[in-house]
Amino acid sequence: MYLIVGLGNPEKQYEKTFHNMGFIAAGDAAEALGAKFRKKECEASVAEAYAGGEKIIVARPLTYMNNSGRAVKQLMAKYKVPEDHLLVIYDDYDLPKGKVRIRAGGGPGTHNGMRSVIGETGLKEFPRIRIGIRDPEVEIPIIDYVLSEVRKPDYELFAEACRKAGEAAVDFARGKDIGQVMNEYN
């Protein structure tokens, strides 16, 4: 059993914002697995797939970014997901735009969604995929930036980063060691 969680905000107004990179990448992962987001449970929109005899849950928490941990905790409990089979995808202001970085564990950095996941679950050593969003040309407060829409000239860059993150998540859920996934995608 694997759980892939893409962090974001559920309302349409946030659909094309930087803070929804995790939602977009989770959608790419579900698509690669041939799964659709068909049900809502544990305060999340959920898609289910099977690969190599393993069930894979792809989820988008409906709790809004800052409370993402509630949904993750509930999903982990319901599906009895071990810490090393949880993978979280999210935007990262500390990385340059379009960069994808995979880590085997660590702290939340400046990300409130990850702070919620770590706080609710009490876990830190689970894999995560970060999608860089920082644009040095834009100088506005972080909170305004992450909730702003991706600029049209950057759509393709971020679409590719999300696709790459989704692909890495699927490779992990299909049983590749996180170290191998890091070597291939970082």
Provide the annotated active-site residues.
Answer: 19
d(CA 179, CA 185): 10
SS3 for the chain is CEEEEECCCCCHHHCCEHHHHHHHHHHHHHHHHCCCEEEEECCEEEEEEEECCEEEEEEEECCCHHHHHHHHHHHHHHHCCCHHHEEEEEEEEEEECCCEEEECCCCCCCCHHHHHHHHHHCCCCCCEEEEEEECCCCCCCHHHHHCCECCHHHHHHHHHHHHHHHHHHHHHHCCCCHHHHHHHHC
